Amino acid sequence: MKIRVLFICTGNNCRSQMAEALLRNREPVRFEALSAGSHPAGFIHPLAIAAMEHLMVPVYDQYSKSWDEYAGAAIDVIITLCDDAARENCPIWPVSSLKAHWPLPDPAALPESEEICFQAALTAANNLQAKIERLIRMDFFQTDPAELQYQLHRIGQLT
């Protein structure tokens, strides 16, 4: 049985797309990586695509979608990546879902040069990659849910 992980950002066009691609690329057998947003932009931001290309991680078959697409679905882990999405009223997911907030600045929102924005996207991708490495080392089947929740919270505090 795969562990379903849903990464959420407001626009679902940069950070959550990178997280989905990173987890899907790193551990496709044990995990099903998903992403969504409360107000999907309708496209994957070029910065996310460029950062993933730099890391040689494909962003295939991904698209910007609403979290309503997963409302009521069985999701094991829900991770918000932006403060706005974390504050919003999410759709109803089963009570058993683990939830965590891994705040990351939005590289697509920077009013900077293209190079600075790309570096910010790459920094966010590297940060996500480190967090995902810890996520995949978690023992979801033998660990108490309260301990899993604590571990997910701790991962979110990593910078």
Q: Residues with catalytic annotation?
A: 9, 82, 90
- The phi-psi region of residue 122 (left if phi > 0; otherwise alpha if psi is between -120 and 50; otherwise beta) is alpha
Separation between Cα atoms, residue 145 and residue 140, nearest integer Å: 8
3-state secondary structure of 125: helix
Neighbour order of strands in the sheet with 77-80:
31-36, 3-8, 77-80, 98-101
